[in-house]
Amino acid sequence: MKIVRVEDIKGTEREVEGPGWTSRRLLLKKDGMGFSFHETIIPAGAELHLWYKYHLEAVYCVEGDGEIVDLDTDETHKIENGTLYALDKNDRHILRGGKKDMRLICAFNPPVTGRETHDADGAYNLVEEE
Protein backbone atom coordinates (compact mmCIF):
# COMPACT_ATOMS: atom_id res chain seq x y z
CA MET A 1 0.00 0.00 0.00
CA LYS A 2 1.21 3.48 -0.84
CA ILE A 3 0.16 6.60 1.07
CA VAL A 4 1.19 9.91 -0.52
CA ARG A 5 0.32 13.37 0.75
CA VAL A 6 0.64 16.44 -1.46
CA GLU A 7 2.02 18.43 1.47
CA ASP A 8 4.92 15.95 1.71
CA ILE A 9 5.76 16.46 -2.00
CA LYS A 10 5.88 20.27 -1.96
CA GLY A 11 9.47 21.50 -2.20
CA THR A 12 10.89 18.08 -3.20
CA GLU A 13 12.07 16.74 -6.56
CA ARG A 14 8.49 15.52 -7.14
CA GLU A 15 7.25 19.12 -7.35
CA VAL A 16 8.17 20.36 -10.81
CA GLU A 17 7.48 23.81 -12.26
CA GLY A 18 7.48 25.21 -15.75
CA PRO A 19 6.16 28.31 -17.48
CA GLY A 20 2.47 28.44 -16.54
CA TRP A 21 2.23 25.26 -14.45
CA THR A 22 3.28 23.44 -11.30
CA SER A 23 3.04 19.64 -11.13
CA ARG A 24 3.18 17.56 -7.98
CA ARG A 25 3.90 13.98 -9.01
CA LEU A 26 2.17 11.71 -6.52
CA LEU A 27 2.87 8.49 -8.43
CA LEU A 28 5.65 7.97 -10.97
CA LYS A 29 6.80 5.08 -13.16
CA LYS A 30 9.09 3.78 -10.40
CA ASP A 31 6.05 3.37 -8.13
CA GLY A 32 4.95 0.46 -10.34
CA MET A 33 1.28 1.31 -10.79
CA GLY A 34 1.27 1.36 -14.62
CA PHE A 35 0.30 5.05 -14.72
CA SER A 36 1.49 8.25 -13.11
CA PHE A 37 -0.77 10.50 -11.05
CA HIS A 38 -0.28 14.24 -10.55
CA GLU A 39 -1.79 17.34 -9.05
CA THR A 40 -1.21 20.21 -11.47
CA ILE A 41 -1.81 23.90 -10.83
CA ILE A 42 -2.47 26.17 -13.82
CA PRO A 43 -2.40 29.85 -12.80
CA ALA A 44 -5.20 32.20 -13.83
CA GLY A 45 -4.50 33.61 -17.29
CA ALA A 46 -1.82 31.05 -18.25
CA GLU A 47 -1.79 29.65 -21.79
CA LEU A 48 -0.05 26.37 -22.58
CA HIS A 49 0.34 24.80 -26.03
CA LEU A 50 0.60 21.05 -25.41
CA TRP A 51 0.74 17.84 -27.40
CA TYR A 52 1.44 14.64 -25.50
CA LYS A 53 2.54 12.59 -28.51
CA TYR A 54 3.69 9.65 -26.41
CA HIS A 55 1.22 9.68 -23.51
CA LEU A 56 -2.51 9.45 -22.95
CA GLU A 57 -3.77 11.75 -20.22
CA ALA A 58 -6.98 12.05 -18.21
CA VAL A 59 -7.51 15.31 -16.30
CA TYR A 60 -10.12 16.09 -13.65
CA CYS A 61 -10.64 19.66 -12.46
CA VAL A 62 -11.26 19.99 -8.71
CA GLU A 63 -10.89 23.76 -8.38
CA GLY A 64 -10.81 26.93 -10.49
CA ASP A 65 -11.71 27.47 -14.11
CA GLY A 66 -10.29 27.64 -17.61
CA GLU A 67 -10.71 26.15 -21.05
CA ILE A 68 -9.18 23.67 -23.45
CA VAL A 69 -8.99 24.13 -27.21
CA ASP A 70 -8.75 21.06 -29.46
CA LEU A 71 -6.32 22.20 -32.15
CA ASP A 72 -7.53 19.58 -34.65
CA THR A 73 -11.20 20.65 -34.49
CA ASP A 74 -10.89 24.22 -33.14
CA GLU A 75 -13.50 23.32 -30.50
CA THR A 76 -13.21 25.12 -27.16
CA HIS A 77 -14.49 23.49 -23.98
CA LYS A 78 -15.00 25.16 -20.62
CA ILE A 79 -13.23 23.59 -17.65
CA GLU A 80 -14.50 24.02 -14.12
CA ASN A 81 -14.79 22.03 -10.91
CA GLY A 82 -16.24 18.62 -11.79
CA THR A 83 -15.03 18.57 -15.43
CA LEU A 84 -12.93 15.72 -16.80
CA TYR A 85 -11.19 15.76 -20.16
CA ALA A 86 -9.30 12.83 -21.66
CA LEU A 87 -6.62 13.24 -24.31
CA ASP A 88 -7.37 9.82 -25.79
CA LYS A 89 -5.91 10.49 -29.25
CA ASN A 90 -2.71 12.30 -28.25
CA ASP A 91 -4.68 15.47 -28.94
CA ARG A 92 -2.83 18.71 -29.69
CA HIS A 93 -4.39 21.35 -27.47
CA ILE A 94 -4.19 24.72 -25.77
CA LEU A 95 -4.93 24.82 -22.06
CA ARG A 96 -5.89 28.23 -20.70
CA GLY A 97 -6.24 29.30 -17.13
CA GLY A 98 -9.37 31.34 -16.43
CA LYS A 99 -10.14 33.84 -13.70
CA LYS A 100 -9.05 31.52 -10.87
CA ASP A 101 -6.11 29.13 -10.65
CA MET A 102 -7.08 25.63 -11.77
CA ARG A 103 -6.20 22.61 -9.66
CA LEU A 104 -6.20 19.53 -11.86
CA ILE A 105 -5.75 15.84 -11.02
CA CYS A 106 -4.00 14.07 -13.89
CA ALA A 107 -3.17 10.47 -14.83
CA PHE A 108 -0.63 9.64 -17.55
CA ASN A 109 -0.19 6.37 -19.45
CA PRO A 110 2.52 5.33 -19.93
CA PRO A 111 3.63 6.70 -16.57
CA VAL A 112 6.15 9.52 -16.48
CA THR A 113 9.42 9.09 -14.63
CA GLY A 114 9.43 12.62 -13.24
CA ARG A 115 12.43 13.71 -15.32
CA GLU A 116 10.47 14.68 -18.45
CA THR A 117 10.41 18.23 -19.74
CA HIS A 118 8.17 19.72 -22.42
CA ASP A 119 9.78 19.79 -25.86
CA ALA A 120 9.15 22.44 -28.56
CA ASP A 121 5.78 20.79 -29.39
CA GLY A 122 4.68 20.83 -25.75
CA ALA A 123 5.17 17.06 -25.41
CA TYR A 124 6.94 15.00 -22.79
CA ASN A 125 9.59 12.81 -24.37
CA LEU A 126 9.19 9.13 -23.63
CA VAL A 127 11.82 8.34 -20.96
CA GLU A 128 12.39 4.61 -20.63
CA GLU A 129 15.08 4.42 -17.94
CA GLU A 130 14.76 5.55 -14.32
**pLDDT value for 36:** 96
Fold category of 6-105 in CATH: Jelly Rolls (2.60.120)
> Is 80 exceeded by the pLDDT of residue 123?
no
Q: How far apart, in whole angstroms, are the C-alpha atoms of residue 130 and residue 90?
A: 23
Could you state, in order of their start, the residue ranges of all structural domains in the chain?
Answer: 6-105
Strand arrangement, sheet containing 65-70: 47-51, 92-97, 65-70, 76-80
Kindly report, residue by residue over 83-96, the tens digit of the pLDDT: 999 999 999 999 99
Longest dimension (CA), the chain: 42
What is the per-residue pLDDT for 71? 96
pLDDT in tens, 14-26: 999 988 999 999 9
